[in-house]
Structure 1
């Protein structure tokens, strides 16, 4: 483990990782803010169009104008709702990416701790090789998604009635 270790020491690795994470954070927060703002604008525009067309329908001189204005208001509101929903989904995606951003330092600290345990452990060359191989495979595979929450099963106490 000589040769390349000097170029990838902990301070250099930390700086490189931190710089990447900062850039990633800026991109994800910018996307989240933009998507949220655009969703709010789409909702406001849709509501205003609905109000305007409803007003036109109420004060229309003929039934045909009222029906057309009401229909246009409903279509405009539905379209604005669809656009807003799309932006909200984009904001949710950005929030998911932000969670990944905050998980990254924890993941890196786990790898560094594993590296230290292997380096400081009283292991044979074969054991060290197996552990490092497993560690590299885990790093390449990336973090696993969280397991779905399991329902809580309450044990019944003898002599008591259930809920």
Structure 2
């Protein structure tokens, strides 16, 4: 990112100090290309960081999710429920474990909800 910005500054200085119009146009074009390259590289790094962050978040959320299931199991074991009620609750608990946690709702810059995308 810094290299792209540095190249942009260098080409702007060259364009301003060029003695011919053609030299200014070439330097300006090279500056635009370097700015585009810097933007592409920056976006790639930011996207990579977002993906790594979401994986890390999932890694640290897993123990919390598991502790919730264990707490629910303890509550069911300690409650004085009939066998039918206990079976129904355990079935619901197992279904929740199998389906996994729901993905958080993503919002855009304007605060509007966006559909979750598979990654």
TM score, norm. by length of structure 1: 0.58
- Partner residue, 2:40: 82
The 2-side partners of 1:148 and 1:91 are apart by: 17
Shift of 1:146: 4.1
Q: 1:142 to 1:61 in 2, by over 3 A?
A: same
The 2-side partners of 1:148 and 1:59 are apart by: 47
- Structure 1 portions without partners, runs of 5+: 1-42, 150-163
- Structure 2 portions without partners, runs of 5+: 108-119
- Partner residue, 1:109: 67
- Partner residue, 2:90: 132
Deviations 1:23-59 (A, max 9, x none): xxxxxxxxxxxxxxxxxxxx10111111221222223
SS across alignment from 2:19: coil
Q: 1:70 to 1:147 in 2, by over 3 A?
A: closer
Shift of 1:103: 2.1
SS across alignment from 2:101: coil
Deviations 1:116-159 (A, max 9, x none): 1222222222222211111110011111234689xxxxxxxxxx
Shift of 1:108: 0.8
The 2-side partners of 1:136 and 1:44 are apart by: 51
Which structure would you say has the larger RCO, counting Cα contacts within 8 Å and 6 or more residues apart?
1
From 69, 80, 103, the counterpart of 2:27? 69
Aligned residues: 107
CA RMSD of aligned residues (A): 2.1
